[in-house]
Chains A and B, each alone.
Chain A
Amino acid sequence: MLDIASKLTSLVKNFKFLSKLQIASNNDNRQINLHIHIPENGKISKRQLELAREQLIPILKENKPFKTLSEPVDKSLKVIDDYNEEGNDPNLKKFINDNLPEKDKAIWYSSLILRKYFEEDKKELVSQLKSQIISTELDRGKNIANLCSAGYLESLIIPLNSYFEDEKIDKQLFLEIYETIVTEYPFAVFVSQYRPYTEIKKEIIDKINKVKKYGWKKVSVHGIGKENVKEIKKLAEEIETSCKVVNSVDVNTHGSKGIIITFTFNLS
């Protein structure tokens, strides 16, 4: 390891775009951290890059395993590692692994991590992670993240699966209902600052009318943040007054800054 360190130290001295050489040791684990930044402005010549490459490649070949990570990926892996090192949600992860479709597993795991940091009020991290989930997984990612944050994995999906197992009902039917939950979440509305008031109100009323037909008598509206909470409370008043089927409106907090309003209504 000392030999690698001295080779890399020499490289860092010769090539300006190699930097931050650090050698960290933790008991028997020694890690050498190297950072590479090549500016776009062309100050590093092609010849220099070629020389650095010629010297770096054999060092890497002789010293596997190694990791080469962009800065954002390094940070993301640390977030994932920290979450797993703490042993969070093992039962939920097992349930996801054993019962949910392969294409959704990583989205659910990501959403559990997102939820944990939401509960710790790490706003910036939560915002970044949620944007990433939505940008690559689109609506499905957004839906699963919302369902997870709102606790529907524990309160709905797991009990539903248990019921089907206990009654020995074909798993395929569970998966079909699961698909409906994930794509339409017919019993829940998630409010965000980007959605117009009228659109949210229409969605609530449409869902009340839809789920009634299937014998479901609750629709919950979820929101986080002062403005969203204000909007949901206003919506709740309007709908309670104007929608004759609504029996009761329950208001609960969600985390420190969120709200869940549940409309219970007649099935007739």
Chain B
Amino acid sequence: MIKITFSKNPKTKRFILSLFGKDVDSENYIIEKETGERVLSSNGQEITFKRFGGVVSGSEIFLKDDFVSLVDYYENRLSKQEG
């Protein structure tokens, strides 16, 4: 498996988003570059550029960087594996 880690400074984050065809709108939310539609996190919330934490591929799950969101993602992923 490939694991990419990245610095959380703006230029690096923008580069990472561009790898997935994403951009940032005027209100600083992450969007699909082609459609302008806002991207949702693993728990169904819009993600600001500031809170962007990463992407897990497969189904391209976008992560917010706060601890509670990450715990939520982890628990949901676990329960899907066990289910």
Residues of chain A having any CB pair with chain B under 8 Å: 4, 8, 17, 29-40, 49, 53, 56-57, 59-60, 63-74, 76-77, 80-81, 84, 105-107, 109-110, 113, 129, 132-133, 135-137, 141
Smallest CB separation, B51 vs chain A (Å): 9
Instruction: Return chain B residues, CB-CB under 8 Å to A8.
Output: 2
**Complex Cα spacing A70 to B9, Å:** 9
Instruction: Return chain A residues, CB-CB under 8 Å to B19.
Output: 53, 56-57, 60, 68
A137 and B68 within 8 A (CB): yes
User: When A74-B5, A77-B74 are in contact, do A36 and B63 touch as well, CB less than 8 Å?
Assistant: no
B6 and A69 within 8 A (CB): yes
B67 and A110 within 8 A (CB): yes
A71 and B8 within 8 A (CB): yes
**Complex Cα spacing A129 to B68, Å:** 9
Prevailing SS type, chain B contact patch = mixed
B18 within 8 A of A: yes
Contact flags B1-43 to A (C-beta < 8 A → 1, else 0) = 1111111111111011011000000000000000000000001
Interface size class of chain B, counting residues whose CB lies under 8 Å from the partner chain: 35 or more
**Complex Cα spacing A133 to B67, Å:** 7
Smallest CB separation, B44 vs chain A (Å): 12
**Complex Cα spacing A65 to B4, Å:** 12
User: When A4-B2, A53-B19 are in contact, do A70 and B71 touch as well, CB less than 8 Å?
Assistant: no
Residues of chain B having any CB pair with chain A under 8 Å: 1-13, 15-16, 18-19, 43, 52-58, 63, 65-72, 74-75, 78
Cβ-closest chain A residue relative to B12:
A38
A65 and B58 within 8 A (CB): yes
A30 and B1 within 8 A (CB): yes
User: When A60-B57, A136-B69 are in contact, do A69 and B4 touch as well, CB less than 8 Å?
Assistant: yes
Smallest CB separation, A262 vs chain B (Å): 30
**Complex Cα spacing A63 to B58, Å:** 10
B68 and A133 within 8 A (CB): yes
Contact of B54 among A17, A34, A68 (CB under 8 A): A68
**Complex Cα spacing A107 to B70, Å:** 11
**Complex Cα spacing A64 to B3, Å:** 10
User: When A73-B63, A84-B74, A137-B68 are in contact, do A33 and B58 touch as well, CB less than 8 Å?
Assistant: no
Smallest CB separation, A127 vs chain B (Å): 12
Contact of B71 among A31, A56, A72, A109 (CB under 8 A): A109
B15 and A38 within 8 A (CB): yes
Instruction: Return chain A residues, CB-CB under 8 Å to B78.
Output: 84
